[in-house]
Amino acid sequence: MAALMAALARPFRRGPAGLGTALRREAMGGPRGRGTQVLRKNLQRGVVLSTGSFLVYEAHKLISGFAEVHASFKVEDVIEQADYLYGSGETEKLYRLLVQHKNSDDAELLWRLARSSRDLAQLGSTSAEEKKKLTYDSLEYAKKALEKNESNFAAHKWYGICLSDVGDYEGIKTKIGNAVIIKEHFQRAIELNPKDATTIHLIGIWCYSFAEMPWYQRKIAATLFNTTLCFTGSSLLPHGRRR
């Protein structure tokens, strides 16, 4: 390297013409020709690497852009497939499809996952331990759906349903304490979609539950709310699939 720098420095002292002569002499295989060839190869390699880096960068931008477009269609495709599986009664396949998207930011996917988790929990083949886990998971998915889109009527409906289910594990006091919250979510769901028959039916069950509640539950409700409103110990939504 020192010899090369010295060779390049001498022509500068003789002016531009001297530089050209020196480079020609080095290129013809003289003692200093090897150093110049190394320099040229290094320069060429630098150009190739720079070009390669640019192409990689452009390819990355293209792939990223395609991925974003593809992702926007993927949500719709998953929802379409999920609705087909739900209509076909494929509970386990539906859950396996939707649970892959549990970290999604899409409320439509999340409330469907909450519903699917609940349906799987109610299958006779599901163990008691797994049922409990799925019940709590379904509430978390419904809660996340609400966080992503408070104006989604189905998210409110399924949050109310799943909150009622969790009460079976929390005890009667907690279940009664959640009663008002559950009703509020059902009412909000009806406000957002007055034509949803399931939510209207749930409000009816909620009111009937108060009318049929045992005396000891009335006493608990009176203590919690300082009122005569009460709540039954059974789940708000009868066992079975609902839209």
pLDDT in tens, the chain (243 residues): 545 444 444 444 444 444 444 434 444 445 444 554 544 555 455 544 444 554 454 545 444 444 443 444 589 999 999 999 999 999 999 999 999 999 999 999 999 999 999 999 999 999 999 999 999 999 999 999 999 999 999 999 999 999 999 998 998 888 888 888 999 999 999 999 999 999 999 999 988 877 677 766 767 766 666 654 434 444 444 445 555
Q: Are 160 and 236 in contact (CB under 8 A)?
A: yes
Q: Quick check: 217 and 230 in contact, CB under 8 A?
A: yes
Separation between Cα atoms, residue 229 and residue 217, nearest integer Å: 10
Give the whole-angstrom CA distance, residue 142 versus residue 158. Answer: 6
